[in-house]
Structure 1
Amino acid sequence: MRQFLDFEKSVAELENKIYELQRVETATEINIAEELQTLTEKAEKQLRVIYNKLTPWQKVQVSRHAQRPHALDYIKGMIENFMPLAGDRLYAEDHAIIGGLGRFKGQSVIVIGIERGSDLDTRLKHNFGMARPEGYRKAQRLIKLAGQFNLPIIMLIDTPGAWPGIDAEQHGQAEAIAKSIETCLRATTPIVSVIIGEGGSGGAIALATADKILMLEHAIYSVISPEACSSILWRDASQAAQAAGALRLTAQDLLKFKLIDQIIEEPVGGAQRDPETAISNVQKAIEAAFGELALVPEQVLQAKRRNKFLAMGREEIN
């Protein structure tokens, strides 16, 4: 059953009418195809109008939608013969970060994704997409493995941030994130990172230090969540919508600031309405990015990646 966001109320009402008419048509065999077509076109038009003028806070809500495809959905849809590799070889396995070997468009790759889970059981298993140090150290291990076998790397990012629990701090959360960034910068093979939902704080940038940073149209990427920002600045979490606007966390803003390289178009109504199309669009964008990076020599690749991040924030934005 489709879940609607608050600002989609008008579309929800139309789609409920369509559903009721379909039931009537099935039960009575009365031909009401013309009425159904009219309502369907009206709902699609209304949805397009809404999504063409989303506010930053509405984009935050879309990026967190429970029915958006998650990392495992993208892996299933894009990667053949995926073989997960578990553990950081130091302490434990972290289910928030999924990583392993597979084939992307016939090419062997390393895939690393942050998984949020799709229902209560899987969300608890994957800790709602909040990784512990063990997860970031597993990612480091896989990035180094990619270097050993000359494999390109795909990162799929969807996290509210790294796990802030005391156990994570005791196990060196800050060091693990910093080391992940360093490992990405030192990687000898191409890295393409895709922000598929929420890109929160250092938990996201630990895997977004890439040659190409791609971002879905309604995803977000920010140093802090709007709720946390609101609590700090206004001491009131209810000002999150205002904070979302101030943070400039949308894909459109970030492309303007040159913090990402490309926006990937989503189906009308967001990736949650048509996951297959969203996954296909991401697949095509990754393939194109790898095509650009394939001919870049290793030393040039590393230098360009490093300079890319050193330049961030230094250029004046008009």
Structure 2
Amino acid sequence: MTNAIATPEASPPPAHAHFTLDTVSPAIGAEVSGIDLRDTLDDATVAALRDALVQHKVLFFRDQDITPVQHVALARRFGQLEVHPVFQHHADHPELVLLGGTQAAKARENIYHSDVSWREIPSMASMLRCVECPRSGGDTIWVNMAKAYADLPQAVKEQIADLEAVHDIMPSFGSRMSAEERAANRVKFPAVIHPVVRTHPESGEKILYVNEGFTTHLANFLSTGTFRVGFDFRYGELELLQYLFRQAAIPEYQVRLRWAPNTIAFWDNRSTQHYAIQDYFPAVRRMMRATIIGDKPF
């Protein structure tokens, strides 16, 4: 199912409501079986899936041939859905974004990021269905950013405990807009400030919440000490941010999914980052994503 395999000594997958979970890697990820997402799920199953999502951080479902209507309805069981201001939307369902490049142009999601962290209220979760993909290539990686934080040296934890980071839509999406669109979206989506270490509102976990896709700088780095000159301050900030960004690239915190048509990945966007590998061009990979609105990081 993925490059990571459950260890032989692992206990039998636990049963939850009307489905079964099978852990995929020690750090993150579980495969869900025994469920048909075309059905209307009862409240107990939705609650159990949400619990599993918080625990495992990304859930994988195979062979789920759902329609766009069913995709939107399923995602809505977990919260209100956003409409993305830049990505192309499904013609009949603006809550579904259409992702993927063409034979003429690569897709550009191959950077570690947390979806829409540039919003004042970032997403709770994303639900992505594979419509079309090459026979090989185009995998996606997810990263457990709670474990990335937990394993940081104590001195780094102390340094970043009260730091805040600026997240901005423009570095990744500004080039896709006209000058007029940039001006309009700069008003609608000003840069926002989130804590470098956020707290998961359901699990209470501490999470490293900066990403190279949308985090531009630290808002209050000067508060961490006295600096000789601006040179020291600026390079110290950049070095710290780069160090924090690199935590997402540590394989021990990751799981990697090999896609097939009608595979669905459902991830907790508060506690993960992901990276869509662009190794399949000029083949085409087409995906549909619904994104569930979350809560203000604290």
Into which bin does the TM-score normalised by the smaller protein fall?
A: under 0.3
Q: Report which of the two structures shows the higher radius of gyration computed on alpha carbons.
A: 1
TM-score (normalised: structure 1): 0.23
TM-score (normalised: structure 2): 0.24
Looking at secondary structure, tell me which structure has more helix per residue: 1
Looking at secondary structure, tell me which structure has more strand per residue: 2
* Structure with bigger RCO (C-alpha 8 Å, 6+ apart): 2
